[in-house]
Amino acid sequence: MKKIVCKNYDELSKCGADIVTAQIKAKPDSVLGLATGSTPIGLYKYLREMPLDFSNISAYNLDEYYPIEKANDQSYAYFMNDNLFQYITVKSKDIPNGEAPDAEAECRRYDKAIEQAGGIDLQVLGLGVNGHIGFNEPAKALSVGTHAVDLTESTIEANARFFANKEAVPRRALTLGLGGIMKAKKILVLASGKNKADVVKKMFSGEVTTDVPASLLQLHGDVTVIVDEEANGEA
Ligand code: GLP
């Protein structure tokens, strides 16, 4: 895994946007795997300002709360529109459907859709403070395909800041599994702030454990991790 250390969040965002831009220039019909959370907001801001042709890009998001209405301003569908898709026109965009009546059927549909698109070329990832990627929470065993997951108490607490209160955070989510993430040809991880320093360290520890799902990325052949000095444990 390659690590790029940036001074601060703004530099990290710009650096991430440059990597996504290079991918789109090299392959204008790229399939992008996109992430939510506060970390990639700056990257999306830079990306939507780039003079780029997104019209052949297919975008698949990592995860979504379940159940949640798309119109809810805390849904990831809403987030993606708010931060990126209202500004750019892509060929197609898809996200696990938080309104689907049958979660299992929705997960199978999603895996099939990604496969039919030719697989993800570049997957953008953030990191949960507990080491989760997407909503793959620390557990004894991790799932390969897209699946429904019960959120851990620590994730509900970490994400409560976006909702009116902790009780309003959905208890479940649909997420790409570790197989879906690891099948991406390239992976770009972003981590900013002191509270990510511990998980960044574990990611580079040389040990792989399902207790820290992000540590499994060490098994992938093409991962770039962009951190700011705080997430690198320097500040
Ligand atoms: C959520 C998302 C993750 C994201 C994580 C970190 O739980 N499901 O995909 O990486 O939050 O969020 P933040 O970037 O706000 O720290």
pLDDT in tens, 73-129: 999 999 999 999 999 999 999 999 999 999 999 999 999 999 999 999 999 999 999
Residue-by-residue DSSP string for 174-212: EE--HHHHHTSSEEEEEE-SGGGHHHHHHHTSS---TTS
What is the 120 CA–ligand 1 centroid distance (Å)? 19
Structure-block tokens of residue 175: 């997420």
Q: Please compute the mean of the pLDDT values over residues 160-188 and round it to a whole number.
A: 96
Q: Quick check: is 132 catalytic?
A: yes
Q: Quick check: is 130 catalytic?
A: yes
Would you place residue 48 in the very low, low, confident or very high pLDDT band (cuts 50, 70, 90)?
Answer: very high
Closest CA to 143 of 198, 206, 216: 216
CB 126 less than 6 A from any atom of ligand 1: yes
Q: How far apart (Å, rounded) are the C-alpha atoms in residues 169 and 68?
A: 10
What is the 18 CA–ligand 1 centroid distance (Å)? 21
- Terminal CA-CA length for the chain: 22
Distance of CA 28 to the CA centre of its chain: 21
CB 39 less than 6 A from any atom of ligand 1: yes
The CA–CA distances, whole Å, from 21 to 32, 48, 130 equal 11, 10, 30
Alpha helices in the chain (DSSP H): 9-26, 41-49, 76-80, 103-116, 153-159, 178-182, 197-203
pLDDT in tens, 124-167: 999 999 999 999 999 999 999 999 999 999 899 989 999 999 99
